[in-house]
Structure 1
């Protein structure tokens, strides 16, 4: 029987790339996004390629939506093997302008979503009595705190901590919990970050900040979704069964840990 993987935030961007790779690896894939139009379009693309997948709309910040996502995966495919907590949002602002709304929104998606997704997946793995993999979206901002990205960096540091704690507590249930930490990618998220940065720096033109980040990458290019998907593919495989509690940087050489 084919293994089953859930990927949140897979309507586009890195999540879509991860879901596509897992589908190519032979997984039955459960696509998930808060954007119904995006996730439906991705589902059609996958079906046209012969990949076996379903789409479930949901808000990762809501615990009931995460548990329903697992329920729908099991209803369709009979089991769950891998849960990828990919969904997240970016936040750009000076430290002195951080407010309660910004904090609440960012933490509800980036942190609450990871906690609730991990709980839902672990509950299913324990019920099945099988091993399971939870793979979280951290970031280089979970290892290094970046100016103008204070709230985002704080959420990713929290993801790193919850990854460590969940790995320790769930190991006895044969559950591995790891995280991937992307760097700078040419995605819609980085387009938004670049656009927001321009508002706060008089000497910046659109694209300048993105170029500055890319110029600092040791391997000389920005990240592609496949670069992240390759790592997730490995962590989801049996070859990574002896790895847990790790937050692995995949950034082409920006931060070194």
Structure 2
């Protein structure tokens, strides 16, 4: 018996990665390029070092978002890795105010949705059987006392993923999400400092604790997420849509 395995090769595919300047986004750029894709990348950072054509956009700025959407219409991506997001912490009694809510939702929900919509419209208009991959989080599956707005924004990502998948299924455009758990990125230095402030912990203590609490016993790496993104972008996942895949070492049982 000869097995006709679906390829993970992405040669000939155009991939857009948002939030591409570091951590998970930067790893995704490397993995997509290694699989042969032509990669376009965006972020708010001025500098970028990666195997992609990079354009800076501030997605919180209305003009920046509009410019990004116009750029999407030009590059006509076959695959979207919708990764750009902000993080913040604070008690609902104090720091978790409406200003923080508006800031997080402007990127994590509003800009996320606009980018997804622009890519979907382009894929349908050009008859591309594309793949949209949204970055959710384990935080989108449960609330956390100090991370209310972020948790809610990532729950919205999961819900929009399901709705978009159903709307785009007739056009053979697949929409899935990835829910990373605790991933060891440069951002964790900032997150750890926030927990030190709000929970009275020593610097480095929270990061060590969350890694040890993972059923597999350690924090994940950006590449762990990027490899799943390649799977969702490729024909390996051609019968998958409307799903949210946990890459969290067993933290959340679905």
Shared fold (TM-score, shorter chain, > 0.5)? yes
Instruction: Note if contact 1:66-1:120 (Cα within 8 Å) is conserved in structure 2.
Output: no
In 2, distance between residues paired with 1:134 and 1:118? 7
- The counterpart of 2:79, out of the listed 75, 79, 82, is 82
**1:99-157 deviation line (CA, Å, top 9, x unaligned):** 11100010011111220111110111011112111100000011122221111101000
- The counterpart of 2:19, out of the listed 9, 19, 25, is 9
Corresponding residue for 1:59?
58
Number of equivalent positions: 240
- The counterpart of 1:127, out of the listed 125, 128, 131, is 125
SS of 2:236's equivalent in the other structure is helix
Corresponding residue for 2:29?
19
In 2, distance between residues paired with 1:114 and 1:26? 26
- The counterpart of 1:165, out of the listed 163, 166, 176, is 163
RMSD between superposed Cα atoms in Å: 1.3
SS of 1:184's equivalent in the other structure is coil
Instruction: Note if contact 1:56-1:69 (Cα within 8 Å) is conserved in structure 2.
Output: no
In 2, distance between residues paired with 1:146 and 1:69? 36
In 2, distance between residues paired with 1:93 and 1:65? 32
Q: Which runs of 4+ in 1 moved over 4 A?
A: none
Under a length normalisation based on structure 2, what TM-score does the superposition of the two structures give? 0.91
Corresponding residue for 2:93?
96
Q: Which residues of 2 match residues 210-225 of structure 1 at below 5 A?
A: 210-225=207-222
Instruction: Note if contact 1:23-1:29 (Cα within 8 Å) is conserved in structure 2.
Output: yes
SS of 2:41's equivalent in the other structure is strand
In 2, distance between residues paired with 1:59 and 1:243? 32
Q: Which has the higher helix share?
A: 1
In 1, distance between residues paired with 2:148 and 2:188? 16
In 2, distance between residues paired with 1:59 and 1:197? 27
Instruction: Note if contact 1:182-1:250 (Cα within 8 Å) is conserved in structure 2.
Output: yes
SS of 1:180's equivalent in the other structure is strand
In 1, distance between residues paired with 2:244 and 2:59? 21
Is 1:191 aligned with 2:224? no
Under a length normalisation based on structure 1, what TM-score does the superposition of the two structures give? 0.90
